[in-house]
Amino acid sequence: MTMVMLNQDESQSLREKKKIETRNKIFEVSGRLFKEKGFEKVTVDEITREVGIAKGTFFNYFPTKTALLVYFGKQKEELIYKLIKNETKRSIPTKDKIKNIMVLVAKSNEKDKELTKLFVFEYLRHYGYEERRSHSLNTILRELLEDGVKTGEVKNGIDVKRVAENLTAIYYYSLMEWLWSNSDYSFSEDISKKIDVLFDGIRS
């Protein structure tokens, strides 16, 4: 009976290396295949054949085929939040900050429209059933708005929670409109203008 849990520090064991490698290869291959043929047309058999693993192995890494889509979304999200972190540190007006962040996120989606189309629904659906995260767009926006209230840039007494939700809503809805529209207008420009409207209101 061995109970020692040797900490591997930064040097990974062979096992861990192989695991990460396999996981990455599944990602890589499936991403390429999905873009080529669409999600439904790609079978797990096909993915595992190309990766060079048995079918069962796939399910050691991802609980379902659609889980892949969720993980695509998560990976993208992580990239985005690294970008956002830098943006929040700058000393610029609250509105600009919010705008910059949302445009940043928008632009990162503009880069891989087809793949985003595939996973955006699964990603949203999945998060319906998951814990609310501290790193969500909604949370970040809310914190920025609270700062804005403190500095007097945003009306005092405003319902910050609801405003943040409105901004988040606008982001996701605009994303979908853009993903499925035929004309290829600029998503980030659209978002930017919509934020203007939200800040200024529409009542004459």
Partner DNA sequence: AGTCATATATGACCGTAGTCATATTTAATG
Partner DNA sequence: CATTAAATATGACTACGGTCATATATGACT
Task: Give me the residues that bind DNA (CB under 7 A), please.
Answer: 1-4, 6, 8, 13-16, 18-19, 22, 42-45, 53-57, 59-61, 63-66
Q: Which two tokens stand for residue 1?
A: 């009976």
Find the shortest distance in angstroms from Cβ 179 to DNA.
Answer: 22
Residues 123-182 that bind a copy of itself (CB under 8 A): 124-125, 128-129, 145, 152-156, 158-159, 162-163, 165-166, 168-170, 172-174, 176-177, 179-180
Q: Which two tokens stand for residue 43?
A: 């079978």
92 binds a copy of itself (CB under 8 A): no
Closest to a copy of itself by CB, 81 or 199: 199
Find the shortest distance in angstroms from Cβ 161 to a copy of itself.
Answer: 10
Find the shortest distance in angstroms from Cβ 59 to DNA.
Answer: 4
CB-count burial class (<10 Å; 0-12, 13-18, 19+) for 176 = middle
114 binds a copy of itself (CB under 8 A): no
| 62 contacts 26 by C-beta, under 8 angstroms | yes
56 binds a copy of itself (CB under 8 A): no
Cα 112 → chain centroid: 12
What is the distance between the alpha carbons of residues 167 and 136, in angstroms, rounded to a whole number?
12
| 58 contacts 47 by C-beta, under 8 angstroms | yes
User: Which amino acid, residue 92?
Assistant: I
Q: Which does 54 bind (CB under 5 to 8 A by kind): DNA, a copy of itself, none?
A: DNA
Find the shortest distance in angstroms from Cβ 115 to DNA.
Answer: 17
Residues 6+ apart with CB under 8 A from 81: 135
